Amino acid sequence: MALPGCYVLQAAAGQAEVLSRSEPIEKLLADPATPAPLRARLDLVAEARRFAIEELGLADGRSFRKYADLGRPYAVWNVVAAPEFSVTPRRWCYPVAGCVAYRGYFDEARAEATARRLDARGDDVTIGGVATYSTLGYLPDPVFNTMLGWRETRLVGTVFHELAHERLYVPGDSEFNEAFASVVEQEGVRRWLAARGRDGEFEAYRAALARKAEFAGLLREARPRLRRLYAFGAPSTQLWADKQREFGRLKFEYTLLRARWGGYAGYDAWFARPLNNAHLAAVATYHDCVPGLQRELEAAGSLEAFYARADELATLALAERHAAVCREAEGMVGGLGSGPVSSRST
């Protein structure tokens, strides 16, 4: 789907605002007027950036050298859409980054207007607020005010994640890109805590990762069921009823998983809304290839060897690459892309 000129203009204007609101972190840290809570968080970001370069072998570029207070809760809003009876999302194509499974907006009202248009033509649609994103090193990406309230492991992990995108990015293959960055993030957090003598905290972090993997697993199991249902060719009224039944089943399976977690409620809000195909597509991008690349890191034995293996995988055709590391993702090989920015949703 082609991108109209008005979309490109809003993206350019939004990025210009980000740049105009960006201030050097070094200057803010040196300024006695900088509030102590802000100073502490920016100092943490600066430390995480140094760690990423010195201990994780990531690039010393222009990102995370500045801070931008946008005066709003999210940096951008992403719109994801899928046909009413398909789990394959709509895609839009951008220069450099390839084709993507979402459209990002710096203005929430514009995102909502696009969502309404897509909904009016019969698509399943969802809008997600995004706290930070990366331009892959093309611009000096700042730390946003939207990130500073996060717990330490999430904040430093995000720094590792976004800098990993600058280390390796394959246009048009969002699943692989996000998996690579997520694996680097997780290994980075492990090393970060170990270097500070806080290995015990990694157990809580690892438990959160395990819950996230099980959450993604529920959705991964639901997608092929829905795909088979949509391919059956039943009348639309029957398909709609069967579709609602499948999403009801998904919610019931979550209640069982939640009970097994001892009542952990971190995903309650995600399941509380009416679910549709677009919600499944939005999550798939971030989780489908992570297990395969985690195994690659374990086999490599070091980050340096893992980076070399990831570089090798990046040279393969998309289908080959997904066959090598994304088999668990029900054989999906239709790379979704990750747009002009790589974004981290809340």
Per-residue pLDDT tens for 83-140? 999 999 998 887 766 777 889 999 999 999 999 999 999 999 999 999 998 898 899 9
Taking alpha carbons only, the member of 332, 144, 78 closest to residue 227 is 332
Handedness of CA 197, 190, 346, 130 (dihedral sign): positive
Position 45 scores a pLDDT of 98
Which range (40-54, 168-182, 214-228, 280-294) has the least confidence? 280-294
Tokens of 203: 């157990």
Q: Which amino acid is at 331?
A: G
Position 113 scores a pLDDT of 96
If one counts every other C-beta atom within 10 angstroms of the C-beta of residue 126, the result is 21
Position 283 scores a pLDDT of 84
Position 332 scores a pLDDT of 38
79 strand-pairing partners: 103, 127
3-state SS class at 123? coil
Position 100 scores a pLDDT of 77
Which range (44-58, 103-117, 318-332) has the least confidence? 318-332
Q: CA 179 to CA 325: how far, in whole Å? A: 10
Position 27 scores a pLDDT of 97
Tokens of 77: 């809003």
Which range (64-78, 210-224, 306-320) has the least confidence? 210-224
Task: Spell out the domain ranges in the chain.
Answer: 5-201+287-345
pTM here is 0.87
Position 99 scores a pLDDT of 78
Percent of the chain with pLDDT over 70: 92
CA distances from 53 to 10, 46, 57 (A): 33, 11, 5
Position 331 scores a pLDDT of 38
Query: Once rounded to an integer, what is the mean pLDDT over residues 280-293?
Result: 84
Query: Once rounded to an integer, what is the mean pLDDT over residues 142-159?
Result: 96
